[in-house]
Structures are given as C-alpha cells and as structure tokens.
Amino acid sequence: MTRLVAVSATLVLAMTTISVGPAAADDICSPRSIGVSDATQFEGGFFPAEITFTVTSVGCAGGTVQFATGVDPGGAMPMAEPGLDYTPVFGEFSWLPGETTNHTVVVDIVSDYGIEPDEVFTLELFNPIGLVIVDPIGLGTIRNDDVTITPLGKPHCLESYLSCRLSVLVSEPAPVDLTIHFATQNGTATAESDYTGISNGELTIPAGASTAELSIPIRDDREVEGDEYFYVHLYAPSNGKITQDQVAMGIVDDD
C-alpha cells in the first residue's frame, strides 16, 4: 500500500534593506535667491558715520556672489564721489548649503562740514555662482546734516483765524532748496472737526532763505469748548536735518 504524506513547505523571503547616505544638501534644497537693501545715513561731522546695506537670501542651496560700490543709479540726485564722500568697497559673500545667514556691507562715510545736497551711490551684486540675484542694486543715500531745520516757539492761534502757522528756521542759508514733510495728529483737537488733517504735506525752504512757514487750516465751529491742541510731525528732510520732529499746535477758543 502506498502512503501519501502531505508536506507543508514555508518559503521565507529575506528582505534586505540597503542603507543610502543622506542626500547632498544641494539636492534637496530650493535654489537660493538674494537681494540687497537700500540704506540711508546722515553724513556726520566730528564723529565718523557708516552706512549699512543688508544682503538677504531665501532658499538653502550653496553659492557665492561678489559686490562693489560705485554704480551710477541715474535719477535727479547728485552722485556721491568715491574717496571724497565715501570709502569704496569690494568683496565676496558665500553661503554653505542649508545656511540661513544674511550678510551686511558697511561703507564708511567721509564726513565734511560743507553745505551740499544729499548724495547717492550704489552697492551692486554681480557674478553669482549657484544662486539667483533678484535685487542686484541697493541705493545708498548720504543725507546732508550740515544745515539744521528747527521749528520755532510754541505755535498757537485763535480759532477764528482759520489757520495755524508754524515757522521753521535753518541754521544757515543753503545753496540748494531744502524740503521737509509734515503730518498732523490729534491731541485734544480732532481732525476734520477742529482742524483739517494732513497726512503728507511738504514744505520747501528755497535756496538762500533762512525761514519758511507751513499752515494748517482751522475750523471755527462757533462752540464754546475751551482751548485745544493737535500735533504736527516733521519728517523726511532733504538736504538738511530736523532738530525737533514733533510740535504741539494750540487752538485758542475765542467763541
């Protein structure tokens, strides 16, 4: 007699895991893009001054770029002279894969006491390797601070005069026009109820002049309400420096 025997066989498959080292950072990082900021600084006098540009980056791939000062930006503002108004710089920045550092470029300003207009120069990024430049030129503005602009006194006006005036004085007449911007802010007086609010006014002091005056319209409501005040902020001067950037303007109730 023949006996049949059932044999159960189990097949075991051996799974082998192959370990692969980490991919290079440049293989998994996004391309790096860079740009340079604009920068502004007063010229300074007795104390040395510096103007600082920031080179920012987005992405994490490695790369290098060169930089230098002195490209003519064009436009209406006069060009600063290398060696006379600032010290030229040249150099190179690099980023390792995965690095998140932002770099800065510091340019020394050559101070003097001559009355002159604001001047500009540029910092340019060029010769990129392994990255993309999205903003290649930063505009540097050297503000003249040899002429100061100072608001005078504690200005106030009668409500019935329909305007409040603020005079400003320059330290000495300049050979070029000076400008300042101004904006109002409520104190106890309220814009459009007690006075006309101004968000971005501009006052020009002509070349050779020593004073100028700005005017804020006042609204006479013919109500007895007591004296009130509002503020005028002075900002963004050209060709000079503001010594006091906020002035309280009084409205005297004469109802």
User: pLDDT of 57-116, one tens digit each?
Assistant: 999 899 999 999 986 777 667 888 888 889 999 999 999 999 988 999 999 998 776 677
| CA-closest candidate to residue 131, choices 99, 104, 88, 156 | 99
Please name the residue ranges forming H helices in the chain.
25-28
Residues 125 and 38 in one domain: yes
Contacts of 79 (CB under 8 A, 6+ apart): 72, 73, 119, 120, 121
Q: Which of 137, 113, 107 minimizes the C-alpha distance to 41? A: 107
**What would the mean pLDDT of 30-44 be, rounded to a whole number?**
90
Of residues 163 and 54, which shows the higher confidence score? Answer: 54
Residues 176 and 101 in one domain: no
What is the distance between the alpha carbons of residues 249 and 158, in angstroms, rounded to a whole number?
11
The total of structural domains in the chain comes to: 2
Give the 3-state secondary structure of residue 171: coil
The whole domain housing 83 covers 27-143
Does residue 215 contact residue 163 with C-beta atoms inside 8 Å? yes
In the chain, count of helices (H) and strands (E)? Answer: 1, 18
Per-residue pLDDT of 107-159, as tens digits, reads 999 877 667 788 899 999 999 999 999 999 999 999 888 788 899 877 888 88
What is the spatial distance between Cα 116 and Cα 40, in angstroms, rounded to a whole number?
A: 16
Considering the domain boundaries, does residue 121 fall inside one?
yes
Residue percentage of the chain with pLDDT more than 90: 46
- 83 in the same domain as 56: yes
Which CATH number does the domain housing residue 247 bear?
2.60.40.2030
Residue 67 within any structural domain of the chain: yes
**Is the same domain home to 70 and 111?**
yes
DSSP 3-state assignment of 27? helix
Q: Are 73 and 113 part of one and the same domain?
A: yes
Residue 208 covered by a domain: yes
